[in-house]
Amino acid sequence: MLEKFIIGFEFEFGCNLTRRQISEKMKENGWLLKGNKPVKWTITDDASVVSNLRYDHEVISPPMPGMEALKTLKKFLSLMRSIGVDTNNTTGLHINVSFVDKTLTDSIDLLELISSVPDSKMAGYYDRKYNDTCMPVEYFFNTNHRISIKKIPESWEDKRKLILQHFIDKSTKYHTINLQKWKRRKYIEFRFAGGKGYEYCYRQLSRDIRTITSLMQKACNGKISKQADKVVRDYSMRFVELPKKTTHGDIGYFSFCDARDLYSGYRSDSSFSLDDILMSEDPFF
């Protein structure tokens, strides 16, 4: 399975070594920090990391074939332990994953993927479930469950597309699943891992990587699963039609459609006047 994927890592940590000293340690392990871009590692200072040691770093690996990536992950975590790093709730391990086969890139159902990855459970293992740099997908939909559009779509497929686009447009990189780089660079960043002591968590990290790659593969099977649409059912997604001006220049009526209608077919919209909406306990705006 892993041979179908390209995987890279971003390691965040504090330590008492400078970037130059870390690079020397990495060269001893055969990792190049100069040369052609595909094999180049990068070391930068990271202002988001707050540790008890002198320097705060982020080390970024090049993308690698899946099996090689797991071996490299194990080896780099060992290096981190040997230099006495400090990891805590400000340090993450970001896992970047893409397909070798570009036909899979074109066929993946991203809505199915983001709704099927057990990101909250995974983040909980590293004590990052409520970390503000990797908020769960569930949190996004619970706080952004209304989609304002000019016209509510009638087809099931169009509604699903709008829900996915809503996540891509409104979410930030600080979610457990970051799709910001998908459009141009075609890789997905998973941010659930890291935290205190993650340099000792190779076995769990290996299992989690196998889980997410398996789910990515499954999301390319061309089938629209109910699992993919649980975001609609569980998070009460709603489409809100933007107001239109009447012939008198007044704001007309809003209408909304509960996106859970994906399960029961499209129904006629319910309509509310502006006064009804403003007086309700749960207004649209």
- The pLDDT of residue 136 is 92
Write down the pLDDT at residue 2.
93
- pLDDT band (50, 70, 90) for residue 39: low
95: enclosing H helix or E strand: strand 92-99
Confidence of residue 103 (pLDDT cuts 50, 70, 90): confident
pLDDT reported for residue 263 = 41
What's the pLDDT band for 72 if we cut at 50, 70, 90?
A: very high
CA distance 134 to 92: 9
| Span 205-217, average pLDDT | 97
Q: Residue 277: what pLDDT? A: 31
Check residue 228 and give its pLDDT: 55
92: confidence class by pLDDT, cuts 50, 70, 90: very high
**With bands split at pLDDT 50, 70 and 90, how would you rate the model's confidence at 76?**
very high
Distant-in-sequence, close-in-space partners of 73: CB < 8 Å, separation ≥ 6: 9, 202, 205, 206, 209
Evaluate whether 124 touches 214 at the Cβ level (below 8 Å): no
pLDDT at position 89 is: 95
What is the rounded average pLDDT for all residues in the chain? Answer: 83
Percent of the chain with pLDDT over 70: 78
- Per DSSP, 259 falls in state G
Q: How far apart are CA 105 and CA 98, in angstroms?
A: 8
Which three-class secondary structure state does DSSP give residue 51?
Answer: coil
Tell me the per-residue pLDDT of 152-181, one tens digit each, with 9 for 90 and over: 888 878 888 888 899 999 999 999 999 998
Summarize the chain as % helix, strand, coil (round to 5). 40, 20, 35
Average pLDDT over residues 115-136: 93
pLDDT digits (tens, 9 = 90+) for 242-279: 776 655 555 554 555 555 444 444 333 333 333 333 33
The lowest-confidence range among 29-33, 56-60, 114-118, 208-212 is 29-33
pLDDT(51) > 90 = yes
CB proximity list for 138: less than 8 A, separation 6 or greater:
119, 120, 234, 235
Residue with more model confidence, 74 or 249 = 74
Question: What mean pLDDT comes out for the span 137-143?
Answer: 87
CA-CA-CA-CA torsion sign (201, 203, 208, 210): positive
pLDDT (0 to 100) of residue 183: 83
Best mean pLDDT range from 22-36, 189-203, 224-238: 189-203
